[in-house]
Structure 1
Amino acid sequence: MLVYGQEILNKANKEGYGVGAFNFVNFEMLNAIFVAANKADSPIFVQASEGAIKYMGIDIAVDMVQTISKRYPHIPVALHLDHGTSFESCKKAVEAGFTSVMIDASHHPFEENLEETIKVVKMAHERGVGVEAELGRLMGIEDNISVSEKDAVLVNPKEAEQFVRESKVDYLAPAIGTSHGAFKFKGEPKLDFERLNKVKELTRIPLVLHGASAIPDYVRESFTQSGGDIGSSKGVPFSFLQEAVKGGINKVNTDTDLRIAFIAEVRKIANNDKTQFDLRKFFAPAMEAMSKVIVERMEILGSANKV
């Protein structure tokens, strides 16, 4: 069942669990997400970036979600624009049928970010659509980073309080030390949970963790054994994800783990049977591997059996 994003996250915020937000770029990824949600009995966010929308076509992306959601009418699902870069991009997504959008103006100064977010919130709320915004910059925290350097890139809790109050945004992504991709930390993983707790205390709204892929050992090994190379990549440990949820995170973005798990299976088939060219033989096990990762994530975040 396709619902507005705030319906899913307000419930998660009230009951204290996290909901996985999983990126997709094609039918196979989207189908794997829904299969996992059905198996875990979990609400979901399915999200597409501007690049994914350009690849699929916005009409195709919306149609696929609407169609597959009818197959699982008991599963609450929000279709989310991930990292919308402009008012125009968010407006286009809302008009196309997205039920949640993110305006990412975090690279701008605070006042400009606030101004752009207010515009998007006004537009989206007229159609009932939930809005996410971001404060701070995504980057791994190094052990030797100074307090002033942390304050320069991570979210300022007092600014978050002002931002939420004035923008009326529905959910906020506060930068607390994660980053996108497979290489999140150069040293030991480190997140600023104290800062997160303060943001939650001051805002009380659902919070979002970006760059939250964990790169579990079994996913890494599968990728490596198939001939892949992700070097010294480091994801966010499961214990950190659970601590983040305890600190007020209610939406947890995951993309890299899905890609790695999917490609590992495709590469295995290609390596094991060089005569194979039936796409179904490649994609069926890839979808199954991805669904396994997603179900595990739902259980860790606490969204399993929350439908």
Structure 2
Amino acid sequence: MSYVSGKTMIQEAWKNGYAIGAFTAHNLETIKAVLLAAEEEQAPIMIQIGQKAINEMGMKPLRDAIDSLIEHHRITVPVCVHLDHSRQFEQCMEAATRHFQSLMFDGSALPFEENIRITKAVVEVANALGLGAEGEIGKIGGTEDDITVDEKDAMITTVAEALDFSERTGVDYLAVSIGTAHGVYKTTPELKFDRLSEIKQAVQKPIVLHGGSGVPDDQIVEAVKRGVAKINVDTELRQAFILGVQEHWKANEKDYILADVMNKGITSMKEVVQHKIRLFGSNGKAK
């Protein structure tokens, strides 16, 4: 196994027409599910550590857990640890000192110029350390960790905004709003593929799709064809884990052996991660 810079990993995917699955982990068991799925599929992966998990578990314990599980399970595939949706420059710097390979500053709720200023500062540090850097332009509706964007405030990113932001910040990969949402969809999403193609043509760098849970498979495949090279998945993973645990308890209501219960959750989540890896086309790309 080797840790790989997010910039290197995402560029490789973008050039070769597949996407990296960026899977959010919340604890030891969910980290394990992602790693085992990636190893079985021989796929490079990103493990995302987001704000809810940091608030509940702490950045250092989660980061240390990834190291320990990679060693314990003898993981051989390329792994990138990504800080997701940070709203603080200081937190991004902490992640850099804790050997994350990719940093995201999310200033999408800030005034445009302020978003550019702070994102650019994070990018400069990431570049100096050889890390990948992600920024976001255009709000994405729904709830991610403890951050909520009302649907009426969500907006589709314009080409002009994306190009200006990309050029002035120097981000390595760019998250844009093209019709996805965080959390559970109330109706089937319809991605704005024409806008995606226009943005890709203008910025000439990998695009990130947030809110990847619940998007129909055919739309995901089309998005990858049009330049998406990193797809975030969280909600479907948590759903799979919890439903797996519930299923186990329905069949074994007096089973109080925690390992048995957790292993069912891990297995259920691992199956979803494997499906996503194949859908994104990253299976077999570890080498």
TM-score, with structure 2 as normaliser: 0.92
Is 1:29–1:287's contact at 8 Å kept on the other side of the alignment? yes
Identity of aligned residues (%): 38
Does residue 77 in structure 1 map to residue 79 in structure 2?
yes
Of residues 76, 90, 93, the one that matches 1:91 is 93
Q: For residue 216 of structure 1, what is the aligned residue in structure 2?
A: none
Is 2:37–2:270's contact at 8 Å kept on the other side of the alignment? yes
Q: Map of 1:73-222 to 2, 5 A cutoff?
A: 73-139=75-141, 153-183=155-185, 185-186=186-187, 188-213=188-213
Q: For residue 221 of structure 1, what is the aligned residue in structure 2?
A: none
Q: Map of 1:224-235 to 2, 5 A cutoff?
A: 235=214
Q: CA deviation at 1:274?
A: 2.3
Q: CA deviation at 1:72?
A: 4.1
| Amino acid in structure 2 at the alignment position of 1:68 | L
Is 1:69–1:75's contact at 8 Å kept on the other side of the alignment? no
Change (3 A) 1:161 1:150: farther
| Amino acid in structure 1 at the alignment position of 2:168 | E
Is 2:181–2:210's contact at 8 Å kept on the other side of the alignment? yes
Of residues 206, 211, 228, the one that matches 1:249 is 228
Does residue 305 in structure 1 map to residue 284 in structure 2?
yes
Q: CA deviation at 1:108?
A: 1.5
Q: For residue 148 of structure 2, what is the aligned residue in structure 1?
A: none
Of stretches 149-158 and 113-122 in structure 1, the one that deviates more from structure 2 is 149-158
Is 1:161–1:199's contact at 8 Å kept on the other side of the alignment? yes
Is 1:136–1:174's contact at 8 Å kept on the other side of the alignment? yes
Q: CA deviation at 1:161?
A: 1.2
Classify the secondary structure of the residue corresponding to 2:129.
coil
Where does the alignment leave 5 or more consecutive residues of structure 1 unmatched?
141-148, 214-234
Classify the secondary structure of the residue corresponding to 1:283.
helix
Higher CA-based Rg: 1
Q: CA deviation at 1:154?
A: 1.1
Q: CA deviation at 1:67?
A: 2.5
Does residue 284 in structure 1 map to residue 284 in structure 2?
no
Aligned equivalents of 1:247, 1:86: Cα separation in 2: 31
Is 1:93–1:101's contact at 8 Å kept on the other side of the alignment? yes
TM-score, with structure 1 as normaliser: 0.86
Give RMSD over aligned pairs.
Answer: 1.8
**CA-to-aligned-CA distance 1:153-176 (integer Å, 9 cap, x gap):** 111112211211111111100100
Does residue 293 in structure 1 map to residue 272 in structure 2?
yes
Does residue 46 in structure 1 map to residue 47 in structure 2?
yes
Where does the alignment leave 5 or more consecutive residues of structure 2 unmatched?
143-150
Give the number of aligned pairs.
276
Change (3 A) 1:64 1:151: closer
Aligned equivalents of 1:298, 1:207: Cα separation in 2: 17
Does residue 63 in structure 1 map to residue 64 in structure 2?
yes
**CA-to-aligned-CA distance 1:190-245 (integer Å, 9 cap, x gap):** 111111101110111111000011xxxxxxxxxxxxxxxxxxxxx21000111110
Q: For residue 229 of structure 1, what is the aligned residue in structure 2?
A: none
Is 2:20–2:44's contact at 8 Å kept on the other side of the alignment? yes
Is 2:6–2:131's contact at 8 Å kept on the other side of the alignment? yes
| Amino acid in structure 2 at the alignment position of 1:192 | K
Is 1:19–1:44's contact at 8 Å kept on the other side of the alignment? yes
